[in-house]
Amino acid sequence: MSAEQSPKIVIVDESPIRAAILEEGLREAGFTGVVHIREMQSLLSRIYALDPDIILIDLENPSRDVLEQMFQVSRAVRRPIAMFVDQSDAASIQASVDAGVSAYIVDGLKKERIKPILDLCVSRFNAFAKLQEELERTKSALEDRKVIDRAKGILMKLKGLTEDEAYVLLRSTAMREKKKIGEIAQSIITASEMLK
Amino acid sequence: MTAPLYIGFIPLVDASALIIAVDKGFTAAEGLDVTLVREVSWSNVRDKLNIGLFDAAHLLAPVAIASSLGLGHVKVPIVAPFNLGINGNAITVSPPLLADIQAEIEGDRYDPMATALALSRVVAKRRKIGAEPLTFGMTFPFSTHNYQLRFWMAAGGVDPDEDVHLVVLPPPYMVDSLANRQVDAFCVGAPWNSIAVDRGIGHILHFVSDILVRAAEKVLAIRQSWAEKNPEIVAALTRAAFRAAEFIEQPENRTEVARMLAHPERIGVDAEVIQRTLDGRLKISPDGTIRESGRYLLVAREGASRPDPVQAAWLYAQMARWGQTSVSPQALNTAKAVFRPDLYDAALGTSRAADLGSAGAIGAFAGPTFNPDDVAGYLASFDLSRRVR
């Protein structure tokens, strides 16, 4: 069986970055037969044409339900089974759901060959989630920065403060009201727009 | 307050008893701390319920049965102490398919036998000229939508596995797929049929209540093992859902209900579109034609919220008819036992089902009256089937 060399793996993911991270990890681990499907149109026929041993799909993807059709009878393709069919390894199933990835595996593929692939997916998915979180944080910090600069400008103009004094006023108000400095800055902008 | 409960749902109008139970405070009044989790696929809802990430879920009734039987997936016994909706789906067709059906129809456009026979003539004509088979979208292999489409077309002699393509499509993709002609028709729940009509790209051909008078659609699904350990929580949840369902059915509450359901974290579409479904007053064509039905979606009225094992048996019979399982008395009993009127009655102090009238529990437009005690005999009366012998 060709799967004994390197199983053919299909990644179904609309996020090209996450798919790339996953693909790279799989290749590094020696899994060379990796194909990424990004387009959800005619998903099943593409999968049938590729005839993979393992299909990985993220849990945010509504097309998971499309894959469930593979379990219906009378298909002339090798019969895939869901990862969850084997309940003996509850911990790794839980870990994969937490990370947001699900796997479909062709019946007959040995369990010990699947485990390292799934473990790798879980860690890569978690790494991607962390990356995204950092990106979000940076983005919102940048947004805050812009809002604070505008609020400082308003305070400087209206109250004749220096930039440093305006910032100190914002910060002390935020501390007193137990709010984020960005929120105080936003309310200053809102108020000044209303008073225009 | 109890420990926090996590309940999964798919943004559809038939999740309304669950959503209103939480958002209107009926669960809190029962001392329950419920967090609703919006999901994107039935596979996710099923898996998260099965492995215990969810304590309960808004689930397709056939998935609850398939899960209890271990069909298509891992076997996890599920119980349903509450029925979240009877009916509520519709079949929507593209304008060209409607024109083709209308050109072939003999009789009433709302009569499912007339449309099914017309469809079979459309299918035959297409085959003759070498056109691609028609494609019908539905939501899941184990879904009422799948069985309703199959029941309807098979009655007109259309073989759902040979004469047309039946494909799974996630509900949020249905309307776009119809617009770009990937499918010619679909069967789905609210609000998606109305959205296709509003976009001017689809006509509602049938309410599923044309096909079956009563069809259990979604259930409140709970793992059997968890339900046995937490009978008081199950009862409290059932009461909260019941109060919400009764609240939804009061016409004077509909505007408020529709507004709450329209919230972006819940169903996330216009309140007006949601209210059409609740009122059973739907625009069925882009030209503004309105069709009303008192049976479009039953949430509490006519005893809709009490789980009926006859419904479970009918769904099991469809699984057997279309080759998803074989008929066995044990499996039939397992299927029936998913629907738990006893848990419903224990929670609410009720003791019997509402009188269903002469149409009986199912009331299909074709075939013999359904006999839940003789599924094999019932299935033998259909010419078209994929029964595994």
φ and ψ of B122, to 5 deg = -60, -45
- This model of the complex carries an ipTM of 0.88
**pLDDT, tens only, B314-335:** 999 999 999 999 999 999 999 9
Find all residues with CB under 8 Å of A114, minimum gap 6, and list them.
A54, A83, A103, A105
Q: Is the pLDDT of residue A75 over 60?
A: no
Q: Are B51 and A85 an interchain contact pair (Cβ–Cβ within 8 Å)?
A: no
Q: Are A84 and B51 an interchain contact pair (Cβ–Cβ within 8 Å)?
A: yes
Question: Which among B42, B48, B51 has the least Cβ separation from residue A65?
Answer: B42
Domain A2-133 has CATH 3.40.190: yes
Q: Is the pLDDT of residue A72 over 80?
A: no
A 61-90 → B contacts, CB under 8 A: 61-69, 71-74, 82, 84-85, 87, 90
Which of chain B's residues have a Cβ under 8 Å away from the Cβ of A68? 42-43, 72, 140-141, 168
Q: Are B74 and A60 an interchain contact pair (Cβ–Cβ within 8 Å)?
A: no
Q: Rounded to a whole number, what is the distance in Å from the CA of A154 to chain B's nearest CA?
A: 34
Say what the pLDDT of residue A79 is: 58
Say what the pLDDT of residue A114 is: 74
Q: What is the dihedral of CA A139, A145, A146, A150, to 10 degrees?
A: 160
Q: What is the dihedral of CA B297, B298, B300, B301, to 10 degrees?
A: 130
Say what the pLDDT of residue A83 is: 59
How buried is residue B35: exposed, middle or buried, by Cβ count under 10 Å (0-12/13-18/19+)? exposed
Which of chain A's residues have a Cβ under 8 Å away from the Cβ of B74? 82, 84-85, 87
Q: Is B162 on the interface with A (CB under 8 A)?
A: no
For chain A, the structural domain boundaries read 2-133, 137-194
**Mean pLDDT in chain B?**
94
Rounded to an integer, the average pLDDT of B166-183 is 93
Phi-psi region of A60 (alpha: psi -120 to 50; beta: other; left: phi over 0): alpha
Task: Report pTM.
Answer: 0.86
Percent of chain B whose pLDDT exceeds 70: 97
Is residue A1 very low, low, confident or very high in pLDDT (cuts 50, 70, 90)? very low
Rounded to an integer, the average pLDDT of B360-374 is 90
**pLDDT, tens only, A96-132:** 777 888 887 776 667 677 778 878 888 888 888 888 8
Which of chain B's residues have a Cβ under 8 Å away from the Cβ of A64? 40-41, 43-44
φ and ψ of B11, to 5 deg = -65, 85
Q: Pull the structure tokens for residue A138.
A: 């940076």
Domain A137-194 has CATH 1.10.10.10: yes
Can you list the domains of chain B with their CATH numbers? 5-85+215-268+299-380 (3.40.190.10), 89-210 (3.40.190.10)
Q: Is the pLDDT of residue B145 over 90?
A: yes
